[in-house]
Amino acid sequence: MKVIVMLLLLVGIGWAAVYYGGGYTSFDPNKQGEQARAAVSPGMPHTKAFDACGDPHRVQKIRREVKKIGGEEIEMFVPGPPADSSRERINERIANGDFPYGFVIPYRFSQSVAFAVHFDEAGIVTQIEDLATMANLLQYDKN
């Protein structure tokens, strides 16, 4: 019985050491996401936006679509499906002109903080858009 109590005590001490010593007590993805969103602004180059928000993992290429509505052709620019990417690959694609209408990088920090950063064809931020989260859907958000 003493062995089991000692093992449980050692496991508890080990867990506490990892939790407090490893920096998990200060980890707050909501705060990190809010700080990243506040650091990005229109007119900022993509490299600075990536530095503020973190390296992108997904990219959505903006596509031009023409739809006929009410007998009139309407031109729309819509994000395509998300594709895996990296900072280096996005830099290459900007240099090659692969984003003629721009691109969007979605960032999800937690179940309550998510946003998308829109860029033009040169990689300059044009707008920041909040994305739907579980907090919005369940009405747990602050708004």
> Of 57, 62, 67, 133, which is closest to residue 94 (Cα–Cα)?
62
Residue 61 to residue 50: CA distance in whole angstroms: 17
Residue 137 predicted with pLDDT over 90: no
Residue 74 to residue 66: CA distance in whole angstroms: 5
What residue ranges do the domains of the chain occupy?
28-137
- The pLDDT tens digits for 75-103 are 999 999 999 999 999 999 999 999 999 99
Residue 134 to residue 140: CA distance in whole angstroms: 8
Give mean pLDDT, residues 43-67: 92
In eight-state DSSP terms, residue 118 is E
pLDDT computed for residue 143 by the predictor: 52
Give mean pLDDT, residues 53-69: 91
Q: What is the mean pLDDT of the chain?
A: 87
Residue 94 to residue 122: CA distance in whole angstroms: 6
Contacts of 51 (CB under 8 A, 6+ apart): none
Tokens of 19: 């939790």
pLDDT computed for residue 25 by the predictor: 59
Residue 141 predicted with pLDDT over 80: no
Give mean pLDDT, residues 26-36: 82
Positions of E strands within 24-108: 58-69, 72-79, 83-84, 103-108
pLDDT computed for residue 38 by the predictor: 92
Segment among 18-22, 32-36, 43-47, 75-79 with least mean pLDDT: 18-22
